[in-house]
């Protein structure tokens, strides 16, 4: 007896697979992505007809939403927004913070000479003397206070030869917030134990670039494309300084101030996507971690689907087309691969709202105005590649062939 219900069920399943070969609707979004209202104007859908002549408009559309720049130059907010070199003095040069190691020498004084760690309260504590303020000060400032203390306590009648030198800069903990990809408290500076140079440890003097402002911003994921580089705020000891980092981003100046434990950095947002910030630089993210999937068939187990190896690193400034090529979504036999598409899932870092777009790869590659619809990939974006309709039909045919074999098997079993 023939099992027609089973055969009909398998036939229905085959029709479902064939239905899957039809064109899927474009992803829907809360933001007006189709009209250029997403985080990037490049998210909008390319028109089917290519305009003649071609004008690239995405960067202009992005810039039109920008709020005015907040600053320029150096500003000390505690002085009513006044700028200049005098206001910048508390930030310039190498300054001491708590847990730094310093070498103190007072002539041949066996009691005072030695190595000291700046205390948690930010002071240098020597025997028989009141604590000397060290947090945020230069070694010259500390030397001057030490000399005055020695004379005031009557240890010396005339000022002795003094030396205060940093022998090791400690790591510092600072807060980074605002228009960065990973706002949080970061610890920067310091040298891992297995990389300590013993000769440098015993030498007088020390220097470091690892405690700079740029290191803290990169440790917090780097600047977002909507950041206002003209007015990055550094809050220190109840004072707020506003720094213009545009030249630093371009690598043209050494205005990369040294940070202290307890500093707070806040990066304002211009509420717009700035294409010119999407390039590697001293304040940019070190790279983009991209989640991807380019499976051509449903995975049967974790090993074949590469679970645990789904993340790829690409340079900051990578665009969608470069990412799909890097993910092996492009190329191969043209008859089966030419009509592939790829889906990009991102999140607006200003609002937290996700955006999903889908592009047909081959038509985008062939457009002269491709840059207008070729978005940049951001840290944490996800990319999924879809097969062409030919590959989908081949898969459906394979399933229908299996259905036919099962039907014949049912018939033969029913006739026994």
- Examine the fold and report which residue of 115, 148, 168 is the final residue of a domain before the chain moves on: 168
Residues 6+ apart with CB under 8 A from 369: 46, 50, 51, 54, 55, 56
Least confident of 120-134, 230-244, 247-261, 312-326: 247-261
In this structure, the answer to whether residues 267 and 333 fall within a common structural domain is no
- 29-56: pLDDT as tens digits: 988 888 888 999 999 999 887 767 678 8
Instruction: Give dist(CA 317, CA 22) in Å, integer.
Output: 34
**Residue 83 located in a structural domain:** yes
Of 180, 238, 241, whose CA–CA distance to 214 is shortest? 180
In this structure, the answer to whether residues 79 and 209 fall within a common structural domain is yes
DSSP string of 298-332?
--SSTTTTTTT--EEEE-TT-BHHHHHHHTT-S-S
**Residue 4 located in a structural domain:** no
Dig out the tokens for 234 from the structure.
């550094």
Contact at 8 Å (CB) between 374 and 320? yes
Total domains, the chain? 3
Which spans in 52-197 are helix H? 58-63, 85-88, 139-152
In this prediction, residues 353-375 reach a mean pLDDT of 92
Confidence at residue 2, expressed as pLDDT on a 0 to 100 scale:
47
In this prediction, residues 156-181 reach a mean pLDDT of 94
Which of the four pLDDT bands, split at 50, 70 and 90, describes residue 216?
Answer: very high
Confidence at residue 86, expressed as pLDDT on a 0 to 100 scale:
60
How confident is the prediction for the chain on average, in pLDDT?
82
**Residue 190 located in a structural domain:** yes
Least confident of 35-44, 137-146, 331-340: 331-340
Higher pLDDT among residues 411 and 313, named by residue: 313
Residues 6+ apart with CB under 8 A from 333: none
**Residue 345 located in a structural domain:** yes
Q: What is the CA radius of gyration of the chain?
A: 32
In this structure, the answer to whether residues 218 and 159 fall within a common structural domain is no
- Examine the fold and report which residue of 168, 184, 204 is the final residue of a domain before the chain moves on: 168
Least confident of 28-32, 41-45, 207-211, 227-231: 207-211
In this structure, the answer to whether residues 82 and 184 fall within a common structural domain is yes
Burial 83-103, CB ≥16 within 10 A → b, else e: beeebbebbeeebbbbbbbbb
C-alpha distances out from residue 336 to 156, 212, 259, 314, Å:
90, 52, 56, 27
Of 268, 246, 270, 248, whose CA–CA distance to 257 is shortest? 248
In this structure, the answer to whether residues 223 and 339 fall within a common structural domain is no
In this structure, the answer to whether residues 161 and 204 fall within a common structural domain is no
**Residue 402 located in a structural domain:** no
Residue 234: which CATH number? 3.10.560.10
Confidence at residue 393, expressed as pLDDT on a 0 to 100 scale:
46
Give SS3 for 268. strand
In this structure, the answer to whether residues 156 and 55 fall within a common structural domain is no
- Examine the fold and report which residue of 168, 183, 198 is the final residue of a domain before the chain moves on: 168
Residue 114: which CATH number? 3.30.1950.10
Of 95, 155, 108, whose CA–CA distance to 127 is shortest? 155
On the question of pLDDT at 161 being above 50, the answer is yes
In this structure, the answer to whether residues 82 and 226 fall within a common structural domain is yes
DSSP assignment letter at 361? H
Which of the four pLDDT bands, split at 50, 70 and 90, describes residue 303?
Answer: low
Confidence at residue 76, expressed as pLDDT on a 0 to 100 scale:
78
Residue 265 host element (H or E): strand 264-269
For 117, the domain range is 101-168
Higher pLDDT among residues 308 and 191, named by residue: 191
Confidence at residue 256, expressed as pLDDT on a 0 to 100 scale:
87
Residue 116 dihedral angles phi and psi, to the nearest 5°: -135, 150
Confidence at residue 186, expressed as pLDDT on a 0 to 100 scale:
97
Confidence at residue 139, expressed as pLDDT on a 0 to 100 scale:
94
Least confident of 69-73, 192-196, 227-231, 354-358: 192-196
Higher pLDDT among residues 328 and 299, named by residue: 328
DSSP string of 5-61?
HHHHHHHHHHHHHHHTTSPPPPPP-SS-GGGT-SSSGGGSPPPSSPPSS----HHHH
In this structure, the answer to whether residues 78 and 218 fall within a common structural domain is yes
Residues 6+ apart with CB under 8 A from 146: 104, 106, 124, 126, 129, 132, 162, 164
In this structure, the answer to whether residues 205 and 231 fall within a common structural domain is yes
Contact at 8 Å (CB) between 342 and 386? yes
On the question of pLDDT at 205 being above 70, the answer is no
**Residue 1 located in a structural domain:** no
Higher pLDDT among residues 179 and 20, named by residue: 179
Confidence at residue 36, expressed as pLDDT on a 0 to 100 scale:
86
Confidence at residue 380, expressed as pLDDT on a 0 to 100 scale:
92
Residue 249 dihedral angles phi and psi, to the nearest 5°: -60, -35
In this prediction, residues 270-293 reach a mean pLDDT of 92
Contact at 8 Å (CB) between 211 and 169? yes
In this structure, the answer to whether residues 335 and 292 fall within a common structural domain is yes
**Residue 404 located in a structural domain:** no
Of 351, 357, 280, whose CA–CA distance to 315 is shortest? 280
Give SS3 for 215. helix
DSSP string of 371-412?
GGG-PBP-TT-EEEEE--HHHHHHHHHHHHHHHHHHHHHHHH
**Residue 5 located in a structural domain:** no
pTM, whole model, 2 decimals?
A: 0.81
In this structure, the answer to whether residues 238 and 316 fall within a common structural domain is no
On the question of pLDDT at 13 being above 60, the answer is no
């Amino acid at each position: 007896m023939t099992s027609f219900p089973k055969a009909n069920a398998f036939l229905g399943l085959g029709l479902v697979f064939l239905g899957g070969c039809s064109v899927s609707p474009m992803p829907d979004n809360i933001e007006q992505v189709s009209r250029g209202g997403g985080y990037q104007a490049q998210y909008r859908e390319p028109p089917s007809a290519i305009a003649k002549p071609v004008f690239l408009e995405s960067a202009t559309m992005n810039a039109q939403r920008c709020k005015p720049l907040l600053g320029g130059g150096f500003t000390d907010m505690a002085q009513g927004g006044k700028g200049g070199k005098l206001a910048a003095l508390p930030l310039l040069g190498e300054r001491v913070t708590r847990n730094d190691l310093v070498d103190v020498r007072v002539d041949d004084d066996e009691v005072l000479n030695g190595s000291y760690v700046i205390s948690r309260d930010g002071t240098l504590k020597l025997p028989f003397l009141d604590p000397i303020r060290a947090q945020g000060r230069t070694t010259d400032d500390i030397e001057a206070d030490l000399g005055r203390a020695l004379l005031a306590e009557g240890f010396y009648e005339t000022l002795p030869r003094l030396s205060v030198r940093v022998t090791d800069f400690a790591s510092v903990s600072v807060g980074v917030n605002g228009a960065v990809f990973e706002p949080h408290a970061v610890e920067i500076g310091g040298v891992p134990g297995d990389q300590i140079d013993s000769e440098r440890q015993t030498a007088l003097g020390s220097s470091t670039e690892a405690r700079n402002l740029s290191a803290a911003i990169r440790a917090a994921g780097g600047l977002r494309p909507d950041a206002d580089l003209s007015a990055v705020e550094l809050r220190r000891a109840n004072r707020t300084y506003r720094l213009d980092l545009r030249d630093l981003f371009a690598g043209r100046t050494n205005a990369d101030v040294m940070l202290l434990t307890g500093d707070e950095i806040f990066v304002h947002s211009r509420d717009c996507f700035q294409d010119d910030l999407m390039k590697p630089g001293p304040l940019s993210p070190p790279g983009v971690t991209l989640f991807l999937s380019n499976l051509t068939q449903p995975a049967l187990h974790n090993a074949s689907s590469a679970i645990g190896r789904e993340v790829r690193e690409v340079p900051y400034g990578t665009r969608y087309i470069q990412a799909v090529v890097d993910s092996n979504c492009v190329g191969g036999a043209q008859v089966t691969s030419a009509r592939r598409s790829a889906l990009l899932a991102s999140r607006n870092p200003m609002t937290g709202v996700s955006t999903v777009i889908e592009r047909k790869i081959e038509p985008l590659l062939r457009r002269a105005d491709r840059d207008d619809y070729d978005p940049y990939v951001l840290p944490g974006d996800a990319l999924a590649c879809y097969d062409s309709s030919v590959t989908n039909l081949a898969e459906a045919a394979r399933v229908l062939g299996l259905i036919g074999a099962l039907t014949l098997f049912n018939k033969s079993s029913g006739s026994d």
